[in-house]
Amino acid sequence: MDFSMTEEQELLIESLKELVAREAPESEVKKWYEVGAVSDQFMRAFLDAGFGFLGIPEEYGGTPADLTTLLMVAEELTRGTAATIPALSNILNMFDMVEFGTKEQIRLSMDLYEKTGKASFSLAISEPQAGSDNSGMTTTAVRKNGKVYLNGGKTFVTHGGVAPYCLLVAKDETPDRDNKNMSMWLFASDTPGVKFAPLHKIGQGTTSFAELYLDNVELDESCLVGTQGKGFLQLMKNFEIERLLLCMQTLGLAEAAMDDAASYAGQRMQFGRPIGEFQMIQQLLTDMEIKIKNMRNMVYEAAWLYDNGLSIRLESALCKRYCGRASTEVCSDAMQIMGGIGYTTEGRISRAWQDARGWEFAGGTEQIMVHIAGRQILKKYAK
Amino acid sequence: MKIITCFKVVPDEQDIELKDNGELSFERAKLTISNYDLNSIEAGAQLAEKGSHELIGVSVGGAKINESKLKKNALSRGLTSLFMLADEKLSNLDTHQTAKLLKIMVEKIADWDLVLCGEGSSDLYAQQVGVQLGELLGATVINSVSKITEENGKIIVERTLENETEVIEVELPAVLSVTSFINLPRIPGMKNILSAGKKPSTVWSLTDIGGTCPSETVEVIETKAPRQMDRKKDITEDDSAESIQVFIEKIAAELR
């Protein structure tokens, strides 16, 4: 079993560390959370250094990279900044577009992305009554007189109102529960009838969230992305990769919290010695380290399976089930070690804790992961 | 134009450990490119990219510098190709030995126009190799170069001095040592890193250059870190002229 990185991966991570040191010092990251967005300068630098094109096909200016390498970048970027940086989910969105979009849609998305490094389009999937239960979706795309009309509403729209375009999944023609036909649509955020209303979160303050209202939004047929009626299946194709990517961010947050707390425990003097010498602190650190190791091992093993062409349906669900909660626990224990300082917004741990909590449900709740994993486990052990 | 940029391979500073007796331990230190030489590589890369020139990296040192990752690291920064002289006998070279060996390498590469060096190395920082190499090669030698431009086939450099900036048109062939603020070295991306492995690199031993190691001109007797001292906790409370004078005298006494 080889756990070592390739020379190329080592060099890439060294480059990333250099980028983070130059462009994302803590004073800068704090500002991002205050204004609610990662700076244009960082997104540009991330793109210029080539990280923003990892995994995107070469014909669109990308650089080949396997999932393991992409996840290493996600881990290091999050660990180095103790922040949730949407740069990697932007890459993932481009994967969807490159796979299912028309030539014009791909070019449009890539051109916008290349200009800024920011998301070309927001993602409108969830609805107030339809999260993991996508049958409950009621937003419709109805054809009339050669045009398509969108009606309904979405919530938790990532980059909603900020990205210039919106990628939306709607039911074809009728909102009935038993209508399984859904399609993907790409349209400009300022199309008449489109209205975004920002949602305010307690964490992950670098990524905007919005509600979206669609009032008879008229689109051309050319706005369809991929195959008519297969929109949700298209979306699901990258769900498993997305889960691992999110898990890597939870891992990075936990590692950042560990970096700060363990270093603090070695320096903070109480009763004439560093608090790290007390066994109760050591127990916290030990359990945190175990969780971090578990997260790393689970996610990289899943990435290895994927890169070797094997299924990760079970593994990606197990990772998502475990990592969000484990990360919150590690950040919470780190805060316990740091005490009052950890609870202030001066340090990084309070931020990592708030961000980690969101990953317990964003991208699929821990509970729905049991539903996915449970069925796979029964299949795996069936005699 | 053929540009050669020299770089030194040094132990990574963050891995160097201090022993109890004050000696430095390099046992766990990974090898890396000297920080100041990243500036000379970048200066070469910018010139080469603007003028479609060839940019060759050159390094000399112990056998350990012939390391695959290190070579990819250098080649990912804009070099066209790389030449190394790596031999166990060349592990602890002084500046004159380094300059003499670099001269042999540069002459063996041949047809060169411009050699770039960093202002010093991040381990010894003697600031000698560039000027000695230029002298040995019989070329124009300029140090403290803070800007290089190419205009109509001519090289114009700037030297930022305390009260003035010198602008000099340089006669080629030349050896220039660049400052650490001449540029911000690029961050190699995945594309650069992947292509680095495909670029040509040549590693010579002493036998390949038909030579022996030049004799030492400097004898290093001892290298030790400064002795760590406890704080004196001598606090000057106010900012009156008298107190400041006392403070200055105390500092001066410590420095004597």
- Give per-residue pLDDT as tens, A325-382: 999 999 999 999 999 999 999 999 999 999 999 999 988 899 999 999 999 999 999 9
Assign domain B2-204 one CATH number from 3.40.50.620, 3.10.50.30, 3.40.50.300, 3.40.1260.10: 3.40.50.620
> Which member of A7, A19, A22 has the closest CB to residue B69?
A7
Instruction: Give DSSP secondary structure letters for A64-102.
Output: ---HHHHHHHHHHHHHHHTS--THHHHHHHHHHHHHHS-
Residues of A in contact with B198 (CB under 8 A): none
ipTM of the complex: 0.85
Q: Write b or e for each residue in B94-104: b if 16 or more Cβ atoms lie within 10 A of its Cβ, otherwise e.
A: bbbbbbbbbbb
What pLDDT is recorded for position B162?
Answer: 86
pLDDT in the model for residue A128: 86
User: What mean pLDDT value characterizes chain B?
Assistant: 92
Amino acid B205: pLDDT: 94
Q: Is the distance from CB of B115 to CB of B141 less than 8 angstroms?
A: no
Give the whole-angstrom CA distance, residue A119 versus residue A186. Answer: 13
Q: Which residue of A has its CA nearest to B185?
A: A18
d(CA A207, CA A364): 17
Going by C-alpha positions, the residue among A161, A95, A156, A87 that lies closest to residue A125 is A156
- Helices (runs of H) and strands (runs of E) counted in chain B: 6, 13
Q: Is B193 on the interface with A (CB under 8 A)?
A: yes
What is chain A's mean pLDDT, rounded?
A: 93
Q: What is the pLDDT of residue A5?
A: 95
pLDDT-derived band at A77, boundaries 50, 70, 90: very high
CA gap B201, B85 in Å, rounded: 11
- Residue B230's pLDDT is what? 78
Select the residue of A11, A54, A64 nearest B188 (Cβ to Cβ).
A11
Work out the pLDDT band at B228, boundaries 50, 70, 90.
confident
Task: Average the pLDDT over B221-247 and give the result.
Answer: 85
Q: Any idea which of A83-97, A135-149, A170-184, B110-124 has the lowest mean pLDDT?
A: A83-97
pLDDT of residue B14: 87
Going by pLDDT thresholds of 50, 70 and 90, the confidence category of residue A301 is very high
Quick check: B14 contacting A, CB < 8 Å?
A: no
**pLDDT over threshold 90, residue B27:** no
Cα angle at B179 between B138 and B222, to 5 degrees?
A: 85
Mean pLDDT of A240-260: 96
pTM of the model: 0.89
Q: How confident is the model at residue A17 (pLDDT cuts 50, 70, 90)?
A: very high
Which residues of chain A neighbour B190 with C-beta distances below 8 Å? 8, 12, 50-51, 53-54, 63, 65, 69
What is the rounded distance in angstroms from the CA atom of residue B87 to the CA atom of residue A202?
59
Q: Which two tokens stand for residue B43?
A: 């200066």
CA angle B80, B108, B171 (to 5 degrees): 75
CA dist B134 to B106, B144, B167, Å?
11, 14, 19
Strand partners, A217: A150
Provide the pLDDT for residue A196. Answer: 96
For residue A204, pLDDT over 80 is answered with yes
A54 closest CB neighbour out of B188, B190, B196: B190
Q: Classify B187 in phi/psi space as left (phi over 0), alpha (psi -120 to 50) or beta.
A: beta
User: Would you state the pLDDT for residue B9?
Assistant: 97
Per-residue pLDDT of B15-26, as tens digits, reads 999 888 888 898
Greatest mean pLDDT range, A42-56, A116-130, B91-105, B236-250? B91-105
**A83-88 mean pLDDT:** 89
Number of helices (H), then strands (E), belonging to chain A: the values are 13, 10
Nearest-Å Rg of the Cα atoms of chain A is 21
User: Quick one: average pLDDT of A296-319?
Assistant: 97
Question: Cα–Cα distance between A292 and B255 in angstroms, integer?
Answer: 49
B35 in contact with A at a CB cutoff of 8 Å?
Answer: no
Range with the poorest average pLDDT among A32-36, A183-187, B122-126 = B122-126
pLDDT class of A175 with cuts at 50, 70, 90: confident
> Shortest Cα distance from B189 to chain A (angstroms)?
5
Check pLDDT > 80 for residue B112.
Answer: yes
CB–CB contact B72 A19 (8 Å): no
Confirm or reject contact between A64 and chain B (CB < 8 A): yes
What is the structure's pLDDT at A215?
A: 96
**Type of residue at A10:** E
Q: Is the distance from CB of A314 to CB of A373 less than 8 angstroms?
A: yes
Please give the pLDDT value at position B158: 96
- Quote the pLDDT of residue B255: 86
What pLDDT is stored for residue A78 in this prediction? Answer: 97
Residue ranges of the domains in chain B?
2-204
B128-137: pLDDT as tens digits: 999 999 999 9
Q: Do residues A149 and A171 make contact, with C-beta atoms less than 8 angstroms apart?
A: no
pLDDT > 90: percent of chain B: 70
Do residues B60 and B90 make contact, with C-beta atoms less than 8 angstroms apart? yes
